[in-house]
Structure 1
Amino acid sequence: MKTTVNTFTLSLISAAIFAAPAAFAGNTEHGSSITAALSDSRVKIELRARYENVEQDGIDKNASALTLKSRITVNTGSYSNFSMAIEVDKVDALVDDYHSKTNGNTDYPVVADPQGTDVNQAYIQYKNDGFSAVVGRQRILHNNQRFVGGVGWRQNEQTYDGVRAQYTADNFSVDYSYIQNINDITANNIKGDFHLVNVHYHLNKTHKISAFAYLLDYDDMANYNKASTTLGALYNGKFGKVLVNASLASQSDSADNPTSYSARYINAEAGYNFGPLTLLAGYELLGSDNGVGFNTPLATKHKFNGWADKFLGTPSQGLQDVYITAKGEISGVKWAATYHDFTSDVGSIDFGSELNLIASYQFNKNYAVLVKAANYAEGDAEQKPTDTNKLWLQVTAKF
């Protein structure tokens, strides 16, 4: 029988964090050390209010979502190299004219921000001489989050229940996680055996190579088609003002996946920094084999292939994304614009195009505002993605 870091375990960790002061209130040496560690605890509060509007062809009603994420994070100080943390998120829908995937409002387009309260993180950590280990529910972000991420754009983050070990020495680091449960953005618990490996080597200050391996085995039959083994490598480098990023990966079926396939992933980017302006062009391929597209189920997929989220699942014909980005900063306002052109890997299908725009301003360390928009234009008429416009207005406060 498989064991998981379940709600009971998370409750024990939470109780340990808050009960420790009473248990060690005496004047013993250990008690004083633990009391000192707890006195070094840090409490952080984050409030993020966001309005999202979605207009989508094929759905008569427009979505209007005004949501508020309230987050409290408690990190204890260290005692004998051990520390603990708990983070709780509460999402409120102040205006709920949208389909959250859990509220049943299917007459509206999807805004994947359901109401609810969730334990986002709850863990015990050990750190010493370049080595760290974390047990419990935790945030895991690998590289650019193309394969493993937290989907931090959504109001309820994706986090992971399991054990993670990291070791860093000089220019080398290795990161291994064994995960038995994924707590996704709709607070679903997705169970299985997930092995996540990520290795970095810094050639120097401006060149880094990484290698990764992701072995995904799901318990639920509904997710068997996501079971896969992915092996790949990533390069990030700078040559003066020239930026270069490149990634290659291969993916094949594993475990109980009913379909045999072997697909490839390619990403190549090149950019130039002109000072106040940076231009970047890129190509991304999520290949297809035997009617199965290369998939990245643990990724922060909103970052890739357009903010309209039309390709959160890779089409069975695969996906090619040719894009160009311009970004810069004017009077403290950071801005960026990206244009995507989408086609299939197999069958020369026009999947449409998309324009993404964003501007953000940080008033100080506590307050920030953001405006963001996406315009997706459909391609071949027989394909499902339809014309969609999205607009976001966001205010963040951190204390």
Structure 2
Amino acid sequence: MKPFKILLAGLLYLLTFSPVSAQLQFEFEVRPRTEYRHGFKTLASPDQDPAFFTDQRTRFNGLFSDDNITVKISLQDVRVWGNQSQLVVGDGNLTSLHEGWAKFNISPKFAFKVGRQEIAYDDQRILGSVGWAQQARSHDAAILMFQDSTFSGHLGLAFNQNSPRLFSTDYTVKNYKALQYLWLHKDWKQANLSVLVLNNGVQVLNDNGEAVGTNFSHTLGGRFGFKLGKFQINSSAYYQGGKQANVQGTRINALYTGADLTYGVGRGHSFTLGGEILSGNNQMNPTGENNAFTPLYGTNHKFNGLMDYFYVGNHVNNVGLNDLFVKWGMKKSKFNSGIQLHFFTANEAIADEAGKEMSSYLGTEVDITTSFPVTKGVGVAAGYSHMFGSDSMVTLKNAGSTDATSNWVWMMVTIKPSFKIATK
């Protein structure tokens, strides 16, 4: 508990001796989630036993703000119930600093934010907080920000190292070594437009684990949204180029497009029809370059079905994906429910073991979710998902069977009380 005491004492000191109006906010979160998995991420086999477990995120957030400075510190512990003995000596590095940043207002429109922080923009397709994952995602970065009534601009920079060095900048952690991006966003009365330019540098290691250089990929694109009456239209497009993160430095030439149309029926009901295309590599006729689009650091659990078959630590540099989906949602008195139906096909050709081309159809997924508040600061969410996979999915994943039932059930409780202290 010593880190929590130090944090509390420091924040109280800032609040007590601040000469201007200031506010201190504390937020606590306990979020256990129980899951039944039988075909999650990949198709199940007939003789495969299901997985059943509970993992939990415990967080303590402290936020200090005055007229010019905002400081946030977020400590979290992520563990699976029972992964340590009852008489454990240490936490096994399960407790970490999720966020630790400061933001300084240079002027009424410019600000500078530095430290460990979540970075999320637009629909979180390329850069997201990955809030579904208990550990979530944060970056060590510096961001110069501009904000007025209708326009925002962020310039972000990051350079990662294993530890303080006397010479060289070799980096061996499984992460990017350098990141630079520019995000621009403009709002109009019924429309909005975002543009993202991202430069992603990954350290290249040889077979001996030695650094031999840094390869950079480039992502350029944007997202457009337009609202007309009960209709909401969104569309996105991105291009990726540069070099793949390997010794050969294979060239990247990949595309992403996506669009969706939502219609608000009334009484809290809505229907959405949409699709995504992520380019891939052709297994029948390779081009010699990497044509597979990678959504990099996005909240990928949010897309392409909730069972995480695609782009959640998997399906990278593969045959790509076409995802046609329809969604129904209902929000009423804080009670939310939804049903999603995804129809998946490969964007490029799949070859079987004999080298013959297979059907592009991968499978159909159904996701059912619901959430509701129990009382102030306490909420419950649950879901059921079912994947109807094809033989092409079995070949692509090199696992599972179409004869087994592939489903996933989960329930999550979020307890999140907070309070504020203000002074002048």
Do the structures match in fold with TM over 0.5?
yes
Comparing 48-57 and 357-366, the one that deviates more: 357-366
Q: Secondary structure at the match of 1:201?
A: strand
* CA distance in 1 between partners of 2:340 and 2:414 (Å): 24
Quick check: 1:93–1:115 contact (8 Å CA) kept in 2?
A: no
- 5+ residue gaps, structure 2, are 85-91, 163-172, 282-288, 350-358, 418-424
1:283 is aligned with what amino acid?
Answer: G
Quick check: 2:243–2:252 contact (8 Å CA) kept in 1?
A: no
Partner of 2:331: 329
Quick check: 2:319–2:346 contact (8 Å CA) kept in 1?
A: yes
Q: Secondary structure at the match of 1:383?
A: helix
Comparing 216-225 and 304-313, the one that deviates more: 216-225
Question: TM-score of the superposition, structure 2-length normalised?
Answer: 0.76
Report 1:310-389 matches (<5 A): 310-312=309-311, 313-314=315-316, 316-330=318-332, 332-347=334-349, 349-379=360-390, 380=392, 381-384=394-397, 386=400, 388-389=406-407
Quick check: 1:17–1:84 contact (8 Å CA) kept in 2?
A: no
1:338 is aligned with what amino acid?
Answer: Q
* CA distance in 1 between partners of 2:242 and 2:76 (Å): 35
Partner of 1:100: none
Partner of 1:296: 295
- Give the superposition deviation at 1:77: 2.9
2:364 is aligned with what amino acid?
Answer: S
Partner of 1:64: 52
Task: Give the structure, 1 or 2, with the largest relative contact order (CA under 8 Å, sep 6 or more).
Answer: 2
Comparing 291-300 and 265-274, the one that deviates more: 291-300
Q: Secondary structure at the match of 2:301?
A: helix
- The question of 1:143 aligning with 2:122 is answered yes
Quick check: 2:57–2:76 contact (8 Å CA) kept in 1?
A: yes
Partner of 1:152: 131
Report 1:1-399 matches (<5 A): 18-19=9-10, 32-33=17-18, 40-56=23-39, 57-58=44-45, 60-78=48-66, 81-95=68-82, 116-127=94-105, 128-181=107-160, 190-204=175-189, 206-219=190-203, 221=205, 227-254=216-243, 257=246, 258-276=249-267, 277-288=269-280, 290-312=289-311, 313-314=315-316, 316-330=318-332, 332-347=334-349, 349-379=360-390, 380=392, 381-384=394-397, 386=400, 388-399=406-417
User: 1:99-127: per-residue Cα shift (whole Å, max 9, x none)?
Assistant: xxxxxxxxxxxxxxx98111000112112
Query: Are the structure 2 counterparts of residues 191 and 316 from structure 1 closer, same or farther at C-alpha, using a change threshold of 3 Å?
Result: closer
- Give the superposition deviation at 1:314: 3.9
Comparing 386-395 and 47-56, the one that deviates more: 386-395
User: 1:81-113: per-residue Cα shift (whole Å, max 9, x none)?
Assistant: 12322100112322569xxxxxxxxxxxxxxxx
* CA distance in 1 between partners of 2:348 and 2:178 (Å): 31
- Give the superposition deviation at 1:40: 2.9
- 5+ residue gaps, structure 1, are 1-10, 26-30, 98-113
User: 1:254-279: per-residue Cα shift (whole Å, max 9, x none)?
Assistant: 37552113111100111211013211
Partner of 1:28: none
TM-align CA RMSD: 3.1
Larger of the two Rg values belongs to structure: 2
* CA distance in 2 between partners of 1:201 and 1:252 (Å): 25
- Give the superposition deviation at 1:78: 2.2
List structure 1 runs of 4+ shifted beyond 3 angstroms: 14-22, 220-227, 254-257, 289-292
* CA distance in 2 between partners of 1:300 and 1:131 (Å): 27
- Give the superposition deviation at 1:161: 0.2
User: 1:216-273: per-residue Cα shift (whole Å, max 9, x none)?
Assistant: 0012539999942110011111110111000111111337552113111100111211
* CA distance in 1 between partners of 2:161 and 2:326 (Å): 33
- Give the superposition deviation at 1:157: 1.1
* CA distance in 2 between partners of 1:298 and 1:369 (Å): 27
* CA distance in 1 between partners of 2:203 and 2:8 (Å): 31
Query: Are the structure 2 counterparts of residues 84 and 220 from structure 1 closer, same or farther at C-alpha, using a change threshold of 3 Å?
Result: farther
Count of residue pairs brought into register by the alignment: 357
